[in-house]
C-alpha cells in the first residue's frame, strides 16, 4: 500500500504481513496509527518548529549518520503525532448505518478546532467550536432519524420495527 505523506515527491511504502496461525483466522487485537486532522496538524507543526540547522551543522561528516538522525526524527515526530491505537474485534458488532463521511469530516473538524481551542483559548475558536458542535449534533440527529425512517419503511412489520428501535434506544440519553 502506498501512502502519500505530502512531504516530498517520494511515496512512503506500507507493508502488511499476514501471519497464519493455527486455530484462528482473524486476529483479536489489531493496532494501527490513524491519520487524523489533529495528528497531521501536530506532525507538520513539529516539522516546522524543529531547528534543522542543528542537524546540518553537526560535527559528524558522515552522510549516513546524518540521514539516520533525520529518519529517526521523522519517525519520532510521526509516532508522537499519531499515537498507536489498539482495535479489538468484537464478535457481535452493532450496525451503525447512520454514520457517513459527512459526519466523519464534521467530527474531525470539531476535534481539530477543540484541540486548537484547548491550546490557545481565543474567543473566535470558542465560537467556531460551539457552532461546529451544534452542527455536528444536528447532523447526527438528522442522520439517525433518516436511518430509523428507512428501517421502518423497509421492514415487513412496521410496528415491530418501531418497537425494536424504541427498545434499542431505551437506555440512551439521546433525545428523539
Q: Quick check: is 51 in a domain?
A: no
pLDDT-based confidence at residue 1 (cuts at 50, 70, 90) = very low
12 within a domain of the structure (yes/no): no
3-state DSSP assignment of residue 12: strand
Q: Let me know if residue 68 belongs to a domain.
A: no
Band (168; pLDDT cuts 50, 70, 90): confident
Domain count, the chain: 1
Asked if residue 80 belongs to a domain, the reply is: no
43 falls within a domain: no
Range of the domain at 128: 94-176
| Domain-embedded: residue 109 | yes
Does residue 2 fall inside a structural domain? no
Instruction: Say which residues have a Cβ less than 8 Å from residue 77's Cβ, sequence separation at least 6.
Output: 43, 46, 47, 50
127 in a structural domain: yes
C-beta separation of 95 from 114 below 8 A? no
Interval 56-111: pLDDT, tens = 776 666 778 888 888 899 999 999 998 888 877 665 545 678 889 999 999 999 99
C-alpha cell at 125: 475558536
Amino acid at each position: 500500500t502506498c501512502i502519500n505523506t505530502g512531504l516530498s515527491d517520494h511515496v512512503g511504502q506500507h507493508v502488511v504481513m499476514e501471519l497464519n496461525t493455527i486455530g484462528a483466522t482473524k486476529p483479536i487485537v489489531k493496532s494501527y496509527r490513524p491519520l487524523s486532522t489533529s495528528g497531521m496538524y501536530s506532525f507538520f507543526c513539529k516539522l516546522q518548529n524543529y531547528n534543522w540547522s542543528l542537524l546540518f551543522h553537526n560535527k559528524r561528516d558522515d552522510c549516513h549518520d546524518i540521514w539516520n538522525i533525520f529518519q529517526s526524527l521523522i519517525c519520532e515526530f510521526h509516532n508522537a503525532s499519531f499515537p498507536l491505537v489498539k482495535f479489538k474485534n468484537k464478535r457481535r458488532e452493532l450496525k451503525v448505518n447512520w454514520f457517513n463521511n459527512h459526519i466523519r469530516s464534521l467530527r474531525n473538524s470539531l476535534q481539530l478546532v477543540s484541540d486548537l481551542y484547548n491550546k490557545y483559548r481565543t474567543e473566535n475558536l470558542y465560537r467556531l467550536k460551539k457552532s461546529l458542535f451544534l452542527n455536528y449534533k444536528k447532523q447526527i440527529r438528522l442522520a439517525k432519524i433518516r436511518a430509523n425512517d428507512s428501517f421502518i419503511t423497509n421492514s415487513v412489520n412496521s410496528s415491530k420495527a418501531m418497537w425494536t428501535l424504541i427498545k434499542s434506544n431505551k437506555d440512551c440519553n439521546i433525545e428523539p
